[in-house]
Chains A and B, each alone.
Chain A
Amino acid sequence: MATLSVHTGAGTDAPCVRLGGDWTVEQAGDIQRKIAELILTPGEAYRIDAAQIRRLDTTGALLLIKLARRCGSDAATVIAQGGLPERLKELLSVVDSHIAAPAPEPPARTGLLHLVEQVGETALWLWKDSLQFIAFVGAVVQTFFFVLTRPRRFRFTSLVFSIEQVGLNALPIVGLISFLIGVVLAYQGASQLRRFGAEIFVVDLIAISVLREVGILLTAIVVAGRSGSAFTAQIGSMVVHEEVDAMRTIGLDPMEVLVLPRVLALVIALPLLAFFSDILGLIGGGLMAWVTQGLSPVLFMERLQENIGFWTFGVGMIKAPVFAALISLVGCYEGFQVSGSAESVGRQTTRSVVEAIFLVIVADAVFSIFFNMIGI
C-alpha cells in the first residue's frame, strides 16, 4: 500500500507532500489515482518528503518524478532533500535520466483515400509479381534446355526422390478421395436419373465427370495442398538459413538443383496420379451403382466401352502435365520469395497453395473453352 498526504506548511516552512509505503509496479494504478486526486494549490511549490517510502522500483520512481513535477519540484530536489536512502536515490536518478515520451503510434490510416491507395498498391504489386513469375518460368525453361544439352548435370537422384515424395506417397490420399467422390456422384446422379427412368445413364455421368474433370481437378488440388506447399516450405526454409546463398557461392545453380527436379517430378507424377484417381473414381461409382441399382460390373464395363470415347479420358490426361507445371512452378517461385523470417515461410506457403489452386482452375476453364471449340 502506498500513501501520500499533503501537509500545509507551518510558519516559514514550505507546504509538503509526504509519501510512504510501497511505491512499486503492483501499486502503480493506485498511486496514479491518488496523485490525480491530490488537491494542490496552483502556483505553490511543495516539498516532497519521501523518507517514509519502504520500497521503490522503477515504476514507483517514474510516478514519484511525475508527482514532483506536478508539485513544482524535480527529481534532483527530491534526491537532495527528500530523505531517501542512498540506494533509492541512485535508482531515482537513473530513472530520471531515462524518462522518455512514448513513441507515437504510426497513424492508423483509414478512409476512402487509403482504400484507393491500397487498391493501387495491390494492383502494382500484382503486376510486378506476375512479371517476376513469368521471368522465373522463363529461367526454369532456360535451365531445362541447358540441362538437356548436358544430361550429366541433371540430378536423377533428386528427381526420383521427388517423384516418391509427390507421387508414390500421395497415392493413398488421392485414391481414397477419388473413390469417395465416385461413390457420391453415383449416389446423387442415380437418384436424379431415376425420376426420368434413365438409371443406366449413371454410367455416362460417372465416366464423363470423373474422367474429364473431377479426377484430374481433385488430384491437382490435393497435390497443390500437399506438394506445392511442401516445395515452398522446403525452398523457403533453405532461403531463411542462407542455404540457397551458400549454393550460389559454391557454384551450384539453385534452378538446376532445387527447381528443375521438383518441376519434372511433378510433371511426371501428376498424370500418373490423375490416372490412378480416374480408375478409383470409376471403381467407387461402379460399386455404388451395383449396390444401389443392381447394375452389374459387367454391364457397367460394357456401357463404358460403348458410350465413352478415348477423348473423354484423353482430355483429362492432357491437362495433367500442365496443372503439374503450374503447381510446381508456383510452389518453387513462392519459396524463393521468402524473406528472412520463419513467419514469412508460413505466409508464402499459404499464398503458394491459394495461387496454385486458383491458376489450376483458371487453366481448367481455358481448357474447357478450347476443347469446346475444337469439338472434343
Chain B
Amino acid sequence: MDGDVIIDIQGLCNRFGPHVVHDGLDLQVRRGEVLGVVGGSGTGKSVLLRTIVGLNRPAAGRIRVFGQDTRNLDAAARRALERRWGVLFQDGALFSSLTVAQNVQVPLREHLALPQPLMDEIAALKIALSGLKAEAGAKFPAELSGGMRKRAGLARALALDPEILFLDEPTAGLDPIGAAAFDQLILELSHALGLTVFMVTHDLDSLYTICDRVAVLAEKKVLAVDTIDRLLDNDHPWIHEYFHGPRARAALRAAPERGEEGSG
C-alpha cells in the first residue's frame, strides 16, 4: 500500500475571522488508498476537504495534488486538475432542474464533446455502477430519497472516471443497510477503478470496513494517520476514547466478517 503520494498537504492554516480551524496541518494521501478522515464536530474535516478541492482558500500552507501546487494554477491547468477528481457532497448536491441522467452528463458535456447517444450510455453505466436502477435516470432529484440522491451524486462524481474521489460523510443519514451497501459500493469501485478515496466520515463501521488508513483531526492538526489497528493502540486521550468507546467496540466486533467480504 506504500504507493506514491497523490495529495500532499503541508503547513495548512485555515481561519475564519478570529476562529482558527487548522494550524500547521500536514497530511499525505497515497495513490490507491481509502483514507478516512475523522474528528469531533467542528474540527474542520469538511473545511479540509473543501480546501483541497479549492472551494476554500487557505490562509497559509501548501497543497499539492498530483504534484501540482493548487494555489498557483492558471485556469486551463485548474480545469485539467478538476477533471481528475470527483466530489460527492453531503446531500448529493444534484442540480435540481436536471434529471439524474442529465446530472451525470454535466461533467461530460463540460469537459468533452461526445455524441448524445454515447453520453446516454455512459450515464446509464454510471447510474448502474452507483447502484441505482435504470429508471432513476429519468427522475428529478426531488423525486429521490436521501440515499438515492447520494448514489446519484456518486454517479456524477464518477462521470469522468476520476483518479481521486472526495466523499463528505457518504453514509450520514442512511439506514444501516443502506450505509453498509454504500460502503461496499465504494470499496468495490475503488478496487475496480483504482480510485484513491478521501472520505470524511463519522461512521465507525465505514472506518473498519473500507478504510486503509485513518487520519484523526484534533487540536487544529492531524494528530495521527495510521491503520485502524495501530490507532487502537494510540495513547492520545481523544483517539483512545474515539476508538474504545462503546460504539467503536461494537463496530470493531462487527468488522472482521465484513472486512473479509470486502477485500475478497
Contact = CB atoms under 8 A, between A and B. Distances in A.
A199 to B, nearest CB: 57
Nearest to B97: A343
Contact of B112 (A25, A87, A90, A341): A25
Given A28-B122, A94-B188, A102 B137 contact: yes
Given A87-B194, A102-B101, A58 B161 contact: yes
Interface string A23-44: 0111011001000000000000
A104 B161 CA distance: 24
A100 interface: yes
B126 A29 contact: no
Contact residues of B: prevailing secondary structure: helix
A103 B124 contact: yes
Given A90-B192, A103-B138, A341-B142, A58 B118 contact: no
Contact of B121 (A26, A90, A91, A102): A102
Interface in B103-143: 108, 112-115, 118, 120-129, 134-138, 142
B76 to A, nearest CB: 15
Contacts of A100: 124-125, 127-128, 134
B124 A59 contact: no
A58 B125 contact: yes
A58 B138 contact: no
A57 B193 contact: yes
Given A98-B128, A102-B134, A28 B118 contact: yes
Given A99-B128, A100-B124, A341 B115 contact: no
Nearest to A342: B96
Contacts of B161: 24-25, 57-59
B123 A102 contact: yes
Contacts of A340: 142
Contacts of A98: 125, 128-129
A105 interface: yes
Contacts of A106: 138
Contacts of B115: 29, 32
B138 A62 contact: no
Interface in A9-58: 24-26, 28-29, 32, 57-58
Contact of A102 (B113, B120, B192): B120
A101 interface: yes
A347 to B, nearest CB: 12
B194 to A, nearest CB: 7
Contacts of A272: none
A64 to B, nearest CB: 12
B160 A103 contact: no
B186 interface: no
Nearest to B127: A100
A95 interface: yes
A168 B112 CA distance: 55
A77 B118 CA distance: 24
Interface string B146-163: 000000000000101100
B134 A58 contact: no
A54 to B, nearest CB: 14
B93 to A, nearest CB: 13
Interface in A335-376: 340-341, 343
Chain B CB within 10 A, most for which of A95, A100, A106: A100
Interface of B: 96, 101, 108, 112-115, 118, 120-129, 134-138, 142, 158, 160-161, 188, 191-194
29 contacts: A25-B122, A25-B161, A28-B122, A29-B115, A29-B118, A32-B118, A57-B161, A57-B193, A58-B122, A62-B125, A94-B188, A99-B125, A99-B128, A100-B125, A100-B127, A100-B128, A101-B124, A102-B101, A102-B121, A102-B123, A102-B124, A103-B134, A103-B136, A103-B137, A104-B138, A340-B142, A341-B96, A341-B142, A343-B96
Given A28-B122, A32-B114, 10 more contacts: A24-B161, A25-B161, A28-B114, A29-B115, A58-B126, A58-B161, A59-B122, A59-B125, A100-B127, A103-B134
